[in-house]
């Protein structure tokens, strides 16, 4: 829900088996609509890319509480491993937990000079559904998302992060649905977004 946006404490459970993607929107309006309705839509190829990534992290991986959780990115407690919102999709026992991974989407409006927020893809793409909430009615498909951060982070704060698989280009110039690899660079971006404290955002004047 919207009240969970911009958490004070960094959620380390988001770092487990996570893949990170760039999302580029043509206008702020569509970002507002995504925040309001909890959905997104890309191009056909973009939707296919994100759906494939989502499926790749859905097979649960078992993590034991007895092994120091070294395979879970340094998370140390059961609460670190399993956020309350995930209890319906992950199975916890006394000895460990079967965890699914995450798909995190870094949103920006083209030519805005800002990273506008981060959302998690929380379900597969429905390729046949056509939403009427976007400015451009050509888009088909619907992706359920949960917004985690809604804030304008200046692009210069992440411009130093270069992606080898894209000829070492800055992450700020990557195209829509480009994957941020290795995952450590996506984690670095996520921490920058979390730590950036100015409250103004693309939805600052909106009521949700």
pTM score of the predicted model: 0.81
**pLDDT single digits (tens) 78-91:** 445 445 445 445 65
Confidence of residue 163 (pLDDT cuts 50, 70, 90): very high
Distance from C-alpha of 69 to C-alpha of 73, rounded to nearest angstrom: 7
Q: Is the pLDDT of residue 74 over 60?
A: no
Nearest 5°: CA angle at 187, between 186 and 191? 120
Instruction: Provide the pLDDT for residue 88.
Output: 46
User: Which single residue is written with the structure tokens 């996506």?
Assistant: 186
């Amino acid at each position: 829900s919207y009240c969970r946006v911009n958490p004070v404490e960094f959620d380390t459970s988001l770092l487990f088996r996570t893949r990170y993607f760039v999302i580029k929107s043509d206008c702020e309006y569509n970002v507002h609509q995504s925040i309001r309705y909890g959905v997104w839509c890309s191009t056909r190829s973009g939707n296919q890319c994100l759906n494939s990534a989502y499926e790749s992290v859905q097979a649960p991986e078992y993590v034991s509480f007895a092994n120091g959780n070294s395979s879970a990115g340094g998370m140390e407690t059961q609460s670190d491993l399993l956020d309350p919102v995930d209890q319906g999709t992950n199975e916890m026992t006394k000895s460990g937990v079967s965890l699914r991974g995450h798909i995190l989407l870094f949103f920006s409006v083209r030519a805005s000079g800002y990273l506008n927020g981060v959302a998690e893809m929380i379900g597969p793409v429905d390729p046949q559904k056509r939403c009427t909430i976007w400015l451009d009615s050509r888009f088909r498909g619907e992706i359920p998302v949960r917004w985690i951060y809604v804030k304008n982070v200046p692009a210069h704060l992440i411009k130093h992060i270069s992606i080898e698989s894209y000829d070492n280009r800055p992450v700020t110039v990557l195209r829509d649905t480009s994957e941020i690899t290795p995952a450590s660079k996506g984690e670095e971006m996520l921490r920058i977004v979390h730590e950036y404290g100015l409250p103004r955002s693309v939805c600052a004047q909106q009521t949700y």
